[in-house]
Structure 1
Amino acid sequence: MTSDADDALSWDGDDDPPARKRTDRSEPERALPEGWEPVGKDSDTVGRIAADGTVIAADDPRPLSTPMLLLVGVIGGVYLLYTVGWIIGGLNLQGSALFLVPAIMYQVAVWAAVLAPALWFAAVWLLTRRSPGWVRVVGFIVGAALLVPWPFVMTGVVGA
């Protein structure tokens, strides 16, 4: 009997880990083991070696860990609820607020408040790509504390 069972469990090229191809061949690719961070002059050109042996380019952002991914999802959901809260709260206060400010000023303020959670999330996400994880967490938590939709919290859905 031949080794058909072994052939069914293997694939040609299983032994070779895939490596990323370099488009610029002027300088050999430098890489550090996983867990090591480059420091000093030209440290932004040094890549890292992943656990499977592939070289991660220096400009690739680090993948999110599972707890960070969960935190980003929960905070994104909270910010989405904040957006809905600002819409409902802003519409409920429209009648009483127009006695104090002109209509165009009120509309600009409401739309700025509605867009603020999405803009905060995008700003923290983009500006903390290369920062440590705790910086991103602090940015999200500060935004969650500052952007609470107070008109909705104070009056609720039915209004005052």
Structure 2
Amino acid sequence: MTSRNDDALSWAGDDDPTLTPPIQAGSTGAAGAPGVENAERAEAPTVLEQAELAEDAKVEAELAAAEKASAQLSSAALITLGILGGVYLLYTIGWAIVVARTTVTFFPLDSLFLEICFRIGQFLSIAAAPLWFVSTLLLTQKRTWRSRLGWLLLGVFVLVPWPFIQGA
């Protein structure tokens, strides 16, 4: 019968013979010279050890990639995103004012299709700036900060509400 202290230091099933490592040739066994067995293992790693090392390397690479992907933006980058978001918001308001000022009368001979197309165009002119901003942020997640900034600056120049600026 084992003592209470020995029970604390062992797990159920520790004496299972299938869990003990096989005795290699040239070794004197578990009670013999353990240094000999470890020396043989160090010289020629087993397939299992090679697989474990490869798996460890793979996990380390995945961890490094995840840390790189989850890196936070710098303060300057966040401020720049905020300023550009404000510019896109102003563009949206500018296009909404242009659409509200626009009055177009369609002649009775014109088709309903033309009016529907015109209204869709007005809606898209208002929605273009926020759509560009959000889609740029979503589509450039895996790219560098410079490419994200480049696409956002391109949108700033492309989506200017010229009718509002010209006072039309």
TM-score relative to the length of structure 1: 0.59
Percentage identity across aligned positions? 32
Whether the 8 Å contact between 1:79 and 1:144 is mirrored in structure 2 is yes
Which piece of structure 1 moves more, 101-110 or 144-153? 101-110
The CA distance in 1 between the partners of 2:151 and 2:105, in whole Å, is 31
Greater share of helix: 2
Inter-CA distance 145–135: structure 2 relative to 1 (3 Å threshold): same
**1:126 paired residue among 125, 132, 138:** 138
Amino acid at match of 1:113: S
Q: Is there any run of 5+ residues in structure 1 with no aligned partner, and where?
A: 1-26, 31-42, 49-56
Shift of residue 46, structure 1, vs aligned partner? 4.0
Larger radius of gyration: 2
Bigger share in strand: 1
1:152 aligns with 2:164: yes
Count residues with an aligned counterpart.
Answer: 109
Q: Distance in 1 between matches of 2:150 and 2:80?
A: 11
**Root-mean-square deviation (Å):** 2.6
Whether 1:75 aligns to 2:84 is yes
Deviation of 1:62 (Å): 2.3
5+ residue gaps, structure 2, are 1-54
TM-score between the two structures when normalised by the length of structure 2: 0.57
Q: 1:114 to 1:75 in 2, by over 3 A?
A: same
Does residue 114 (structure 1) correspond to residue 131 (structure 2)? The answer is no
